[in-house]
Amino acid sequence: MKYISTRGQVAPIGFIDAILMGLADDGGLLVPEQIPQVSADTLAQWQQLTYSELALEIFSLYVNGEIPREDLKKLVDDSYSTFRHEEVTPVHQLDGSRYVLELFHGPTFAFKDVALQFLGNLYAYVSRKTDSIIHILGATSGDTGASAIEGVRGKEGIRICILHPHQKVSKVQELQMTTVDDANVLNLAVEGTFDDCQRIIKELFADVEFKHKYHLRAINSINIARILAQTVYYFYAYFQLAKQGQANKISFSVPTGNFGDIFAGYLAKKMGLPVHKLILATNENNILARFVQEGVYQPGDFRGTYSPSMDIQVASNFERYMFYLYGEDAAKVTSLMAQFKAEGSIVIEGDVLKQVQADFAAYSVENEECLNTISDYHAKYQYLLDPHTACGAAASDRLAEDGEAAVVLSTAHPAKFDEAIRLRQISQTYPEPIQALFDKPQFQKVVGGTNEEIQKQLESFF
C-alpha cells in the first residue's frame, strides 16, 4: 500500500512516510493509492471481534507490513486501554430505530481520542524506531487540541504546539488544553477564528523548507492516520447493529465541521461497509450542507454557535472528497483548489451534483433547534446530548426514512459544553477528571494571527 497526493505531485510513499509528511508536500492531502476492499466473508468474520482486534485488522490493511504485527497490536492495545468503556465506542439504543454511537469514552471526552491516542503512540514508536524528530503543529476549535496534547504530553522526543481561537472554545476545552504543565506542550491562543488557525498551520506546512527545518508533523485530520483510525468505529457500530438483526438499512448521522469524521464513514463505505446513508449535519456554519443541497461551496459569515467545535467554514477534508468525486483526477482537484483560492468558491452541477447527493444527505441545524433537540432527547429518552451530537440527532430525525436504523455519532460528552446545556436548565455532574481541571493553573500565550508571529513562537519552542 502506497499513499499519493490529491494533487498528484508527490511520488507514492509508504505508510510511515505518509504519517510523517502530514500535509502532502505539493499542498494536497494524502490518500491510499488503492482503497482496500473488504469482502462479505471478511465482514462476517470481523463481526465477533473486540474493538481493538477490529482496529488491528483494519490498520493492517493500510500499514501493509511496515510495522510488525505484534508491534502494531501493542500500539492498538495501549491506545484503547485508556478508554473508560470496555467496548471503547459502545452503541446506545434509544428506541426501536434510534441509536447513539458514543465516541466520548476516551481520556478527553471527545471522539478525537479514538484516533489521537493511537497517533500519539504511533509518533512515539516511529520516533524511537527511525530516530525522527517529532514536532507537532496543530490547530483546534477545541477538541483536537486537548486530545492531541493528551496523546503526547510528557513523551520523550516529542513536542507539540497547538493553536486555538482565543475565547472561542468552551471553558472545559480551554482548561483541558491549558492546564497541562508538561514542558513539551505549548498552547497559543490566537486572536481570530479556527479557520485562521487552520489557514496559518496549512501555510506553514506548505512552506516545505520551514516544515523540514523544524520537523513539523500534523495531528489534524490532514494526517491520513486520523481518517483511517476513525473508519474503525463505523465498522464496529455496524457489527453491533447487525448482531441485533438491524443491518439492512443503517444510516449514520455525523456532526460535521472539518469533514474528517464523515469522510472516514465515506471511506468505510468505499471499503465495502454496507452503509445506507451518510447524513452530514452542520450547525449554522453550514457551507458543507449548502454544498450538498445546492452544489455551491462558498464560505459564509462566521457564526459563533452552541457547538463551537463545528464553527468551521473551510473544511480540510473536502479536498479528499473532491478527489474521489472526480474519479481520482489530481489535475482536476488541483484546478478546483486553485479556483477556490482565487475566487473563494467552487460550483458544481448536473451529474456531479447528483453524485454528491447520492453520497450524502445534509441538514444544517440552527442554534434554537440544537437546544430544542437537547431538551427533547433529555425529556423523551433521559439521555443528555452535547450540542454537537444534538446537531447530528436533529439532522437524523429530519432525514430518517421508514425502516432505517439511524445511528447518530456522539462526538463529545455533554460536560464539555455545559454553557449550552445550562441554557435549558438541565444540570449535570461533571466527571471527576473534568471537575479537577477547575483548580489548576493555566499556561497559554495569547498571540495575534499573523504567520510571522506564529513562526517566531515556533522557532523558539522547537
Ligand X SMILES: Cc1ncc(COP(=O)(O)O)c(C=O)c1O
Residues near ligand X (CB under 6 A) are 110, 141, 143, 221, 255-261, 309-310, 388, 411-412
Q: Which three three-digit cell numbers place residue 381?
A: 429518552
Among 73, 74, 112, 168, the one annotated catalytic: 112
Which residue's CB is nearer to ligand LJ64HWYM, number 141 or number 305?
Answer: 141
Q: Minimum distance between the CB of residue 289 and ligand X, rounded to whole angstroms? A: 12
Which residue's CB is nearer to ligand X, number 151 or number 260?
Answer: 260
**Residue 174 burial (CB < 10 Å; 0-12/13-18/19+)?**
buried
Given ligand X, ligand LJ64HWYM, none, residue 388, with its beta carbon under 5 to 8 Å by kind, binds ligand X
Which residue's CB is nearer to ligand X, number 102 or number 261?
Answer: 261
Which residue's CB is nearer to ligand LJ64HWYM, number 25 or number 143?
Answer: 143
Residues 74 and 58 sit within 8 Å (Cβ to Cβ): no
Given ligand LJ64HWYM, ligand X, none, residue 411, with its beta carbon under 5 to 8 Å by kind, binds ligand X
Site track for ligand LJ64HWYM across 271-310, x = CB under 6 A = --------------------------------------x-
Residues 141, 240, 293, 389: which binds ligand LJ64HWYM (CB under 6 A)? 141
Using alpha carbons, select from 140, 143, 203, 148 the residue that is nearest to residue 166.
140
Given ligand LJ64HWYM, ligand X, none, residue 444, with its beta carbon under 5 to 8 Å by kind, binds none
**Residue 307 burial (CB < 10 Å; 0-12/13-18/19+)?**
buried
Residues 52, 89, 121, 140: which binds ligand LJ64HWYM (CB under 6 A)? 140
Given ligand LJ64HWYM, ligand X, none, residue 284, with its beta carbon under 5 to 8 Å by kind, binds none
Annotated active-site residue 112? The verdict is: yes
Which residue's CB is nearer to ligand X, number 110 or number 273?
Answer: 110
Given ligand X, ligand LJ64HWYM, none, residue 140, with its beta carbon under 5 to 8 Å by kind, binds ligand LJ64HWYM
Site track for ligand LJ64HWYM across 146-185, x = CB under 6 A = ----------------------------------------
> Among all chains, which residue has been given the C-alpha cell 489548576?
440
| CA dist., res. 458 & res. 152, Å (int) | 17
The size of the interface with ligand LJ64HWYM (CB under 6 A), counted in residues, is 13
Using alpha carbons, select from 272, 308, 288, 329 the residue that is nearest to residue 39.
272
**Residue 142 burial (CB < 10 Å; 0-12/13-18/19+)?**
buried
Strand locations in 140-196 (E):
158-165, 185-190
Residues 22, 28, 120, 142: which binds ligand LJ64HWYM (CB under 6 A)? 142
Phi-psi label, residue 179: left if phi above 0, alpha if psi -120 to 50, beta otherwise: alpha
Q: Minimum distance between the CB of residue 43 and ligand X, rounded to whole angstroms? A: 24
| CA dist., res. 324 & res. 337, Å (int) | 14
451-461 and 194-206 helices cross at what angle (nearest 10)?
A: 70
121 binds ligand LJ64HWYM (CB under 6 A): no
350-359 and 287-294 helices cross at what angle (nearest 10)?
A: 120
Question: CA-based angle 188:341:2, to the nearest 5?
Answer: 80
First to last CA, the chain: 32
What amino acid positions are annotated as catalytic residues? 112
**Binding footprint of ligand LJ64HWYM on the chain (CB under 6 A):** 140-145, 220-221, 257-258, 260, 309, 316
